[in-house]
Amino acid sequence: MTMTVSANACVTCGACCASYRVSFYWAEGDDAPAGVVPHQLTEKLNDFRRCMQGTNSATPRCVALQGDVGQAVSCAIYENRPTPCRDFDISWQGSNDACDRARAKYGLAPLINIVQVA
């Protein structure tokens, strides 16, 4: 049996959404033909890239992040979130130091893989 500490760890965390600049190719925005990310929630970085509002800051917090980091959070645009969010692995799914570092910033312990066989 697989014990998932953590399939749901992200819903009580959200630290990565409030730690890093979330930037991506501009055409992921829904103002481009195949884009899905609500462009009103983004800001231009340069002619090629944009980022989620609130993340291009010394104290980043994505505008789409709802709730309290380390308590209960959700992403207001989960189905339409940009590529870096989709590609950001929770640390136990592989090795993602950025997950551990973000959690540490908010006093949250690193996640460990506690897969067990019953």
Q: Which residues bind ligand SF4 (CB under 6 A)?
A: 9-10, 13-17, 22, 52, 62, 64-65, 75, 77, 81, 85, 88, 90-91, 99, 102-103, 111
Per DSSP, the residues of 34-70 read T--B-GGGEEE-SSSEEEETT-SSSS---TTEEEETT
Q: Which is nearer to ligand SF4, 14 or 35 (CB)?
A: 14
Beta-bridged to residue 51, according to DSSP, are 23, 43
Q: Which is nearer to ligand SF4, 5 or 48 (CB)?
A: 5
Q: Which is nearer to ligand SF4, 96 or 117 (CB)?
A: 96
Running DSSP on this structure, what letter comes out for residue 107?
Answer: T
Least Å distance, CB 83 to ligand SF4, is 10
Can you read off the two tokens belonging to residue 48? 């090629």
Least Å distance, CB 112 to ligand SF4, is 12
Least Å distance, CB 62 to ligand SF4, is 3
Can you read off the two tokens belonging to residue 14? 């959200």
Buried b (16+ CB within 10 A) or exposed e, 61-96: bbbbbeeebeeebebebeebbbebbeebebbbeeeb
Least Å distance, CB 82 to ligand SF4, is 6
Q: Which is nearer to ligand SF4, 88 or 117 (CB)?
A: 88
